[in-house]
Structure 1
Amino acid sequence: MTKRRKHSWPQPLKGAEARIWYGGDYNPDQWPESVWDEDIELMLKAGVNLVSVGIFSWAKIEPREGEYDFDWLDRIIDKLGRAGIAVDLASATASPPMWLTQAHPEVLWKDERGDTVWPGAREHWRPTSPVFRDYALALCRAMAEHYKDNPYVVAWHVSNEYGCHNRFDYSDDALRAFQKWCRKRYKTIDAVNDAWGTAFWAQRMNDFSEIIPPRYIGDGNFINPGKLLDYKRFSSDALKEFYIAERDTLEEITPGRPLTTNFMVSAGGSLLDYDDWGADVDFVSNDHYFTPGEAHFDEVAYSASLVDGIARKQPWFQMEHSTSAVNWRPINYRAEPGSVVRDSLAQVAMGADAICYFQWRQSKAGAEKWHSSMVPHAGADSQIFRDVCELGVDLGRLSEAGVLGTKLDKAKVAVVFDYESEWATEHTATPSQQVRHWTEPLDWFRALADNGITADVVPVRSDWDTYKAAVLPSVYLLSEATSRRVRDYVANGGRLFVTYYTGLADENDHIWLGGYPGSIRDVVGVRVEEFYPMGDDLPGTPDRLALDNGTTAHDFADVITSTADSARVLASYQSEPWIGMNGVPAIVVNDFGDGRSAYVGCRLGREGLAKSLPAMLEALGLEELKGDGRVLRVERTDEAGDRHFEFLFNRTHDPVTVSAEGEIVVASLADAQAEDGNVTIAPNGVVVVKR
């Protein structure tokens, strides 16, 4: 088990009371100083008490090698601090200046074809470059020495969104680092050969010097899956090693000042193993941008719950999200009215004690000039800024009511997410390119919510096996150790939901033999011999399968050829005889030890799962968990149980009236005058009640 750093949280400025941190990225170097005083005045009006400064300011802080200009940064930090606004100060290393890359082009990362990625954007550095590390750590030391005694700096913001653009590097620096990583992980070249299955296609290696990154191998060819999976692990580790070097340099000079770096956790955000990274920050922080459309709110809640799982229910920091449209999608949709407050309160409900945005003032030039902000191009006389001010009031009310010191209550059900299973399912030679791990956990979270059950989303390394019920949704990789946890959990009375594409391979992407799901067949009571992928890419190919419970499978189904004597079938397929799936089991419940499992052998999507869940809940003895699916209820409680907050979010497009007993602390798009314990919440609305 990875040892985790002790949780440490940014403390309020001297003389100030602890409150939910509220603010955003602030880039004063993009604006003339005449704007700074107006910014601070507006920040105070909005209730802002913290801003992140200097994230992309290396070229201004160190305009020439070894020459530092802290004067402008000193002035703005002093202005902010005197106004009572704390500073989360960046190491400023995210984007190297032009003078550095011109003098040392060897720090630039290379793509899989060996082409250099030139400056012109950001993150154009390679994490394995010893030259770049020297320059970056020199800047860290200079920043730490200069600001070590500054009373207004409450935390270090180390770099920014590691791996957002430089996740993979295929340079010779990376080659040498990958060879070193493999030697540390496997000890012998024979162990590497075994892990990567190099007997296939004559890929056997005689020495670690023969290991190369998964560089370009020609269109239509297939990278060794074990090697590619390890390169994704290596790339996450290489960036983390760079972060740790920055962290330790800052910490050596400024001990006791909390350090973090902003993750990018979302439903599909799997660039790095953020659960692994979570052990190496003083507090977890995250950047999240909403998914437009009908999944908007559920995906926000899902992702926030996963961040809470990564933080192991310690307070976490929402470092970036948007007040409205972003700039990087093909179509940058506006956020719906009410979502500025609702989305932020969803993150607070899920354990965040800090709410910040990118960015404070919308840029008038540059690649992100069309990205929304707290102060938009329209200025303070705008609905966005009025929403920002409303949110500041709401966060203040929650702080005064005592929400700090409470944590997200442990749910009854855990939905398990695994970064490495997602990476493995991304390979280009799989049973179906339409199947990925990440989509299934989100569908289960939403389907459970449709049945009135708010689940915790937790990493596979976490304590998912201490929940009343757990879901393994397309967790493709199950090691022997994790398989043993599954077996022990159910044998000891746990209730487990398992889906197709779970437990197909071990941690090296070697298939468990004997029928799927190889390592836990006895737990789920089914044996799968073959798959039934579905699609519409060729005329006449099957694109769906009907189930006799009224739902429809799409994309993927298991061909279950036998079930255990202890199992019973809840649903089967209905199809034409020539397909060979008519009557094949689709959903199977099995007794195992003192517990019970439900196996869903096909992709039903959120709607099919929601419709199938009542029967599965009843079969597993969990029917008492069902509730009102129109509202997502989330609860936070202090350790002593004296302070209890319930957050109620309307998940529908119609007003809903629900019970809300207690003192209403916040009501956004809702009737705050609860009568007989009821409150009416409009679409995109939220109510927070204290008991």
Structure 2
Amino acid sequence: MPVSKKLPQLFYGGDYNPEQWPEDVWLEDMRLMKQAGVNIVSVGIFSWAILQPNAENYDFGWLDRLMNLLADNGIMADLATATASPPAWLAQLHPESLPVDENGVRFSHGSRQHYCPNSKAFRHYGQGLVRRLAHRYKDHPALAMWHVNNEYGCHVSRCYCAECTVRFREWLQQRYGTVQELNARWGTNFWSQKYYAWDEIALPAKTPTFANPGQQLDYMRFMSDSLLDAYLGEYRILKQITPDVPVMTNFMGAFKPLDEFEWAKHMDVVTWDSYPEPTAGIPVAAAMQHDLMRSLRGGQPFILMEQVTSQVNWRQRNPLKRPGVMRLWSYQAIARGSDGVMFFQWRQSRAGAEKFHGAMVTHTGDENGRVYREVAQLGNELKRLQALVDTRIEAKVAILFDWHNWWALELDSKPSRDVLFLEQIGHYYKALFDAGIAVDFVQPHADLNKYRLVIAPALYLIGPGVSDNLEAYVQQGGTLLTTFFSGIVDENDRIHLGGYPAPLRKLLGLCVEEFDPMLPDQTNGLRVRGQGDLDGDYKCTLWADIIRLEGAEALASFTADFFAGSPAVTAHTFGQGKAYYVGTHAEDAFVAGMLRRILSDLGVQPPVMTPLGVEVSERRAEGRSYIFLLNHLDQPAEVQLPAAGFTDLISGRKLQGSVRLSANEVLILHKDTEHAV
């Protein structure tokens, strides 16, 4: 099914802020939008102060005129609830609605996101506005989707105010029941932190040194839940009044403060905002984020809600996207499961903090300029790609991704602060990306049986049932690969006793007796012998586990230090499957070679073999297959196609044999023998 019944095609458009412009500009906007193939715009995201000039009064006149104008021109609205930036009168009437930082300093009005998610005043007035918007526009022909708030937690993901303190105690009481249970979970006998009453518990704000890790971890959970509860207050109003209209908010990719798997349960479609640095090379990290966004709702297509046409304004230096890159990266999103491409924003602002942020229409307003020409080219191409709507990616490889693990792994007082969750995930993802292998991201307790390979980098936190789930998966024939500093603590950041990694020792067939975090300039080596084309010497950094085998076999050994010759990488047959363990941070060549060998043994192959720098992905539905080829190189590349003839969905060209992609070129291959829709 398409995202919206009113718009059964790929979304194309951007954030539209007509309140910043005289209404005579609106008519020109409509002309340029239709010329560029725009079919939907997000409106009202930052318009609370204009919609509600004071606590008692509302002004919807301008929005009525805009919504009617959009409908008259066949353009749909992703209508925002406008609560992302409260008006000045709310801060004046209710200063307690402003958030407080860890030093006890209250933020001021004058930017955006200046609200505490637990503020009663913020929720009261915000939900009042949402209710009026929903009733007023519920039957409007332009309404296609609701956009709640904007980028939750982007600037203020934590609040330390008095209201949050009260709510945190309530949250803890609901979670643990008794203070005694909380003390046991947090290990409060350490440093005389024991509590005897709920009102003794504070937020982990500014402390002399390390705060209690269990308290810190629960506070991260609490703030994610608090922001989610603020979202749900608006979501429930919209679903009550307009049950058939999709409701969402926009994520910022793998954003640490929000448990996005939990949030996605309450979104009709996942949307996200993508801003890779345009000179950083092939956007592997963006591809990984696309795959994560697609995975949050079990493979359902997502929407790329924001990207930039040319350049952002918020880095220290903001270079342009070169010609063709915006189009190429837009197709990357679609190749990885997006059913729409949108931008921030439609028309470049004249004033304000984002006036130098790129847009679909630049300050020149010139429809003959490079940016608008590229915008119009892409929009009119997407009109021809309706067959892609709601097609899916079928991955045979999964990477475990758990926000609670991320939070716990990167708390302070660890053996090494250099072990970062996204970096460890990305280290293995890049090898799969380069090999053209599709990847899903799944939670550790998910059903893993449809995957041939599951990778769990730095699975530091293992909560109840996770080790049983992994054992069952491998026992039944699955292949697991996990890495150093995994299986260390439980859901409260308490050590799993019984030798590292205690909950995984049986599965992995080993015991980690000690671990040795390396200094930034320190290295060791890996030696591989008797493993075919993987044989060789490799560099490793960051970490070294001192491993005692308990049934596993060594695939690689360390070459230096007192543990030279001891196992560094192992494999263990467990039931019908196999579990691999990598006890260090190995160089890219080793990871790529090891995964290539494992995938070959499992019969997992890319849709088409491509040279390095040419991205490949496949979307499927009901016997239809669409293979995307994207050349990220600054030079042409050759790709050998399978025997069957293909048609390029974008250009209509017939292709077979060897195909040459120019720099930044995109092909969407559809088999000629299949039924085209």
**CA distance 1:683–1:265, change in 2 (3 Å):** same
Counterpart amino acid of 1:572? S
- The share of aligned pairs that are identical, in percent, is 40
Q: Is 1:346 matched with 2:332?
A: yes
Partner of residue 570, structure 2: 588
Q: Is 1:382 matched with 2:382?
A: no
What per-residue deviation string (whole Å, max 9, x for no partner) do you get for residues 606-653 of structure 1?
Answer: 4442244334546xx236537545233211111x32x22111123544
Counterpart amino acid of 1:597? A
Q: Is 1:183 matched with 2:173?
A: yes
**Secondary structure of 1:666 counterpart:** coil
How far apart, in 1, do the equivalents of 2:312 and 2:501 lie? 41
Q: Give, in angstroms, the shift of residue 460 of structure 1.
A: 3.4
- Greater CA deviation, 546-555 or 647-656? 647-656
Partner of residue 254, structure 1: 242
How far apart, in 2, do the equivalents of 1:349 and 1:191 lie? 48
Partner of residue 3, structure 1: none
Partner of residue 533, structure 2: none
**Secondary structure of 1:427 counterpart:** coil
Partner of residue 666, structure 1: 650
Counterpart amino acid of 2:457? P
Partner of residue 602, structure 1: 584
How far apart, in 2, do the equivalents of 1:459 and 1:605 lie? 26
Partner of residue 638, structure 2: 657
What per-residue deviation string (whole Å, max 9, x for no partner) do you get for residues 94-119 of structure 1?
Answer: 11101111111010010111110111
Partner of residue 526, structure 2: 547
How far apart, in 1, do the equivalents of 2:427 and 2:310 lie? 25
Q: Is 1:573 matched with 2:558?
A: yes
**CA distance 1:624–1:146, change in 2 (3 Å):** closer
Contact 1:306–1:459 (Cα < 8 Å) also in 2: no
What per-residue deviation string (whole Å, max 9, x for no partner) do you get for residues 420-460 of structure 1?
Answer: 11111221211111111111111211112223423223343
Contact 1:158–1:260 (Cα < 8 Å) also in 2: yes
Q: Is 1:435 matched with 2:419?
A: yes
Q: Give, in angstroms, the shift of residue 295 of structure 1.
A: 5.2
How far apart, in 2, do the equivalents of 1:393 and 1:464 lie? 40
For residue 428 of structure 2, the aligned residue among 413, 427, 444 is 444
How far apart, in 1, do the equivalents of 2:477 and 2:237 lie? 48
**CA distance 1:311–1:296, change in 2 (3 Å):** farther
**Secondary structure of 1:496 counterpart:** strand
**CA distance 1:377–1:584, change in 2 (3 Å):** farther
Partner of residue 106, structure 1: 96
Contact 2:12–2:341 (Cα < 8 Å) also in 1: yes
What per-residue deviation string (whole Å, max 9, x for no partner) do you get for residues 264-303 of structure 1?
Answer: 114xx22200111000112211122114444542112111
Contact 1:449–1:629 (Cα < 8 Å) also in 2: no
Contact 1:452–1:629 (Cα < 8 Å) also in 2: no
After TM superposition, the structure 1 = structure 2 runs for residues 170-249 of structure 1, keeping only pairs within 5 Å, are 170-218=160-208, 221-249=209-237
RMSD: 1.9
**CA distance 1:21–1:675, change in 2 (3 Å):** closer
**Secondary structure of 1:546 counterpart:** strand
How far apart, in 1, do the equivalents of 2:445 and 2:40 lie? 33
How far apart, in 1, do the equivalents of 2:395 and 2:112 lie? 40
How far apart, in 1, do the equivalents of 2:499 and 2:322 lie? 48
Q: Is 1:406 matched with 2:391?
A: yes
How far apart, in 1, do the equivalents of 2:34 and 2:368 lie? 16
How far apart, in 2, do the equivalents of 1:479 and 1:437 lie? 17
**CA distance 1:151–1:482, change in 2 (3 Å):** same
Q: Is 1:395 matched with 2:382?
A: yes
How far apart, in 1, do the equivalents of 2:155 and 2:655 lie? 52
Counterpart amino acid of 1:550? D
TM-score normalised per structure 1: 0.91
**CA distance 1:241–1:251, change in 2 (3 Å):** same
Instruction: List gaps (5 residues or longer) in structure 2.
Output: 528-535, 672-677
Q: Give, in angstroms, the shift of residue 182 of structure 1.
A: 0.7
Partner of residue 363, structure 1: 349
Partner of residue 416, structure 1: 400
Q: Is 1:149 matched with 2:139?
A: yes
For residue 274 of structure 1, the aligned residue among 257, 260, 267 is 260
Counterpart amino acid of 2:353? A
Q: Is 1:9 matched with 2:3?
A: yes
How far apart, in 2, do the equivalents of 1:407 and 1:170 lie? 42
Counterpart amino acid of 1:287? D
Instruction: List gaps (5 residues or longer) in structure 1.
Output: 1-6, 537-541
How far apart, in 1, do the equivalents of 2:103 and 2:88 lie? 24
Contact 1:125–1:132 (Cα < 8 Å) also in 2: yes
Contact 1:193–1:204 (Cα < 8 Å) also in 2: yes
Partner of residue 683, structure 1: 663
How far apart, in 2, do the equivalents of 1:317 and 1:274 lie? 15
For residue 306 of structure 1, the aligned residue among 263, 268, 292 is 292
What per-residue deviation string (whole Å, max 9, x for no partner) do you get for residues 231-250 of structure 1?
Answer: 11110001111111111122
Counterpart amino acid of 1:447? A
Counterpart amino acid of 2:463? S
Counterpart amino acid of 1:103? L
How far apart, in 1, do the equivalents of 2:319 and 2:468 lie? 45
Counterpart amino acid of 2:354? E
**Secondary structure of 2:126 counterpart:** helix
Q: Is 1:648 matched with 2:629?
A: yes
**CA distance 1:270–1:649, change in 2 (3 Å):** same
Counterpart amino acid of 1:600? V
- Greater CA deviation, 168-177 or 333-342? 333-342
How far apart, in 2, do the equivalents of 1:434 and 1:468 lie? 31
How far apart, in 1, do the equivalents of 2:469 and 2:604 lie? 26
Counterpart amino acid of 2:70? L
**CA distance 1:482–1:106, change in 2 (3 Å):** same
Counterpart amino acid of 1:480? P
Counterpart amino acid of 1:260? M
**CA distance 1:615–1:255, change in 2 (3 Å):** closer
How far apart, in 1, do the equivalents of 2:369 and 2:549 lie? 62
How far apart, in 2, do the equivalents of 1:298 and 1:37 lie? 40
Contact 1:476–1:502 (Cα < 8 Å) also in 2: yes
- Greater CA deviation, 172-181 or 513-522? 513-522
Contact 2:647–2:655 (Cα < 8 Å) also in 1: no
What per-residue deviation string (whole Å, max 9, x for no partner) do you get for residues 333-375 of structure 1?
Answer: 3223322112211211222112111111111211111211111
Contact 1:465–1:486 (Cα < 8 Å) also in 2: no
Counterpart amino acid of 1:248? R
Q: Give, in angstroms, the shift of residue 581 of structure 1.
A: 2.8
Contact 1:465–1:485 (Cα < 8 Å) also in 2: no
